[in-house]
Structure 1
Amino acid sequence: MNRWDGKTKGSLTGYKIFLFFINSLGLGFAYRLLQIVTYYYYLFAAKPKKALLDFYQDTLHISGSDARKLARKNFYIFGQTLVDRAAFLLGKDEKFSHTFQNEQYLVDIRDGGKGGILLSAHLGNWETAGNLLKGRITPTINIVMLDAEVENIKKYMDLSTGGSRFKVIAIKNDLSHIISIRNALINNEFVAIHSDRYLEGSKFIELDFFGKKAKFPYGPFVIASKFDAPVTFVFAAKDGKYSYHLSATLPVTGRIKPEEIARQYVAELERKVREYPEQWFNYFNFFSE
């Protein structure tokens, strides 16, 4: 897989099996089953595994045997994050706990009354961790995303779990999502955007990432620069079997160029990848060719 294609991978049968086991036998059993399933993917998902190993060895300079162990762990934790997501949607969230580094920053953003833009990445599990804060800081979090999940899986998840607890703002060619973002901020809501993946053919910004050139989507940083709302970089990593560590950075305020926001974001993303390399969930060649 040379580039991200905008689609979430997974099979309908797989979702059905895990929803059944979570409901019937609990999270612990689902995790044990994951050990088998994710080991299978580790053995036979050649392209994602190669991309991950290349990232660990060539970018993070982790030795061959340690890189393979880390890749195996990565596949397993990624599976756990998907199971955790389903568990929350099914209302089985009593096992989970979290800590939040710099939670006050989000409280201050809320109290400022202008809404807030939260830039994140495909590292850890922002959605599940956000569910841990439901009603604690803000009643409404909007996620800006490509609505490109495989349709039958999305329908099954909606039918089985009631769908996401977040509001989804779908990115559309007519740019109507910009109006939706504006309205959410006017209502003092948070708007979350993943800012690490771009689709081929879309506008990008090229920046140094671990000493190499990498392309990031330009749109999230343009949005962050255009609205009169604080911008913070928010990440959530799994730090225990049933626990998460959330963090937020000092909010960026005022009119700042998209390029400067992007540079600050990439610097923070580097720090998080070094801290949680096993939770880097971009299974493609991330760097410019």
Structure 2
Amino acid sequence: MNRWDGKTRGTLAGYKIFLFFINFLGIGFAYQLLRVVTFYYYLFAAKPRKVLLDFYRNTLNFSEAKARKLTRQNFYIFGQTLVDRAAFLLGKDKQFSHTFENENYLVDIRNAGKGGILLSAHLGNWETAGNLLKGRITPAINIVMLDAEVQNIKKFMDLSTGGSRFKVIAIKNDLSHIISIRNALNNNEFVAIHADRYLDGAKFIEFDFLGKIARFPYGPFVIASKFDAPVTFVFATKNGKYSYHLSATLPITTKMKPEEIGRLYVAELERKIGQYPEQWFNYFNFFEQ
């Protein structure tokens, strides 16, 4: 099945090269190098190119020319988000600026004292969002994720940059991550979860998404439903060379079923894709059953 396998793509040599250029030649130079790298990727990475072209042509109904342009932009901007992530971790974030739509919603969540659940997606740059939020609104951001990165790359990034500025709650078969989520919320911390990808064998839920039936992971919506904490949908999209646009939705503070939260989430995700189609970073057939 042509679905996500939970692993981050990339080689150790590639990370080393870009960390070197960011450190010694600057972010702008790394962006220029990306133009060459991502154009090569566009030419020869047949599977993700085919998936994106199909998404833009047959789901968003763009013309062939528009679909090809968006696909090239997608590869390039995705590369930029990886460079930006490394730049933040290297302490070279002073070049960046951001705006925050509805920042007061997160302030209200913090002031309520119950922690908060932030549902997001692989659209834009979620890690940079976490780095921007940490220390500004809350002292602790927890990211719930599969710890499936290639270990030598993860180790090199940690040694070279000091690691991420937020906590990682790894999803485990023994469900110990549920306890970690509960503890974080009890400490009035934010817990961020991607709600747009599931692994084969995991429980899923189907929604009408962009005019087609798509499967979403059931777990994030169950977590959002079961814990006594406000829920909001948060995204961070690149809206300039060195700038980001962060947004949050009106917090859900009443008890809702997982299916109800899921429908609201899908509607917001559709809206964001309409605004930033070039930043949809899912390189597999999202609608494959």
TM-score by length of 2: 0.99
CA distance in 2, matches of 1:249, 1:137: 16
- Deviation, 1:131, is 1.3
- Counterpart residue number, 2:6: 6
CA distance in 1, matches of 2:171, 2:133: 25
- Deviation, 1:206, is 0.6
3-state SS of 1:118 partner: strand
CA distance in 2, matches of 1:23, 1:136: 25
CA distance in 2, matches of 1:20, 1:257: 48
CA distance in 2, matches of 1:251, 1:147: 28
- Deviation, 1:288, is 3.5
Residue type of the partner of 1:214? Answer: A
Residue type of the partner of 1:18? Answer: F
3-state SS of 1:42 partner: helix
- Deviation, 1:189, is 0.1
CA distance in 1, matches of 2:262, 2:288: 16
1:80 and 2:80 aligned: yes
- Counterpart residue number, 1:151: 151
CA deviation string 1:162-195 (max 9, x = no partner): 1111100000000000000000000000000000
- Counterpart residue number, 1:25: 25
CA distance in 2, matches of 1:107, 1:129: 15
3-state SS of 1:8 partner: coil
1:264 and 2:273 aligned: no
- Deviation, 1:2, is 1.2
- Deviation, 1:133, is 2.7
CA distance in 2, matches of 1:264, 1:26: 40
- Counterpart residue number, 2:241: 241
Residue type of the partner of 1:143? Answer: I
CA distance in 2, matches of 1:230, 1:44: 44
- Deviation, 1:253, is 1.2
> Do the aligned partners of 2:204 and 2:218 also contact (CA within 8 Å) in 1?
yes
Unaligned runs of 5+ in 2: none
CA distance in 2, matches of 1:54, 1:198: 21
Residue type of the partner of 1:103? Answer: E
CA distance in 2, matches of 1:247, 1:186: 24
- Counterpart residue number, 2:126: 126
- Counterpart residue number, 2:16: 16
CA distance in 2, matches of 1:205, 1:164: 31
3-state SS of 2:26 partner: helix
Residue type of the partner of 1:92? Answer: K
Unaligned runs of 5+ in 1: none
1:190 and 2:193 aligned: no
3-state SS of 1:57 partner: helix
- Counterpart residue number, 1:199: 199
- Deviation, 1:62, is 0.4
- Alpha-carbon RMSD across the aligned residues, in angstroms, is 0.7
CA deviation string 1:182-216 (max 9, x = no partner): 00000000000000000011000011001100000
Residue type of the partner of 1:259? Answer: E
- Deviation, 1:129, is 2.5
CA distance in 2, matches of 1:150, 1:63: 37
3-state SS of 2:10 partner: coil
> Do the aligned partners of 1:97 and 1:132 also contact (CA within 8 Å) in 2?
no
TM-score by length of 1: 0.99
- Deviation, 1:116, is 0.1
3-state SS of 2:16 partner: helix
Residue type of the partner of 1:162? Answer: G
- Deviation, 1:126, is 1.6
> Do the aligned partners of 2:134 and 2:166 also contact (CA within 8 Å) in 1?
no
Residue type of the partner of 1:133? Answer: L
> Do the aligned partners of 1:273 and 1:280 also contact (CA within 8 Å) in 2?
yes
Residue type of the partner of 2:267? Answer: A
3-state SS of 2:179 partner: helix
3-state SS of 2:77 partner: helix
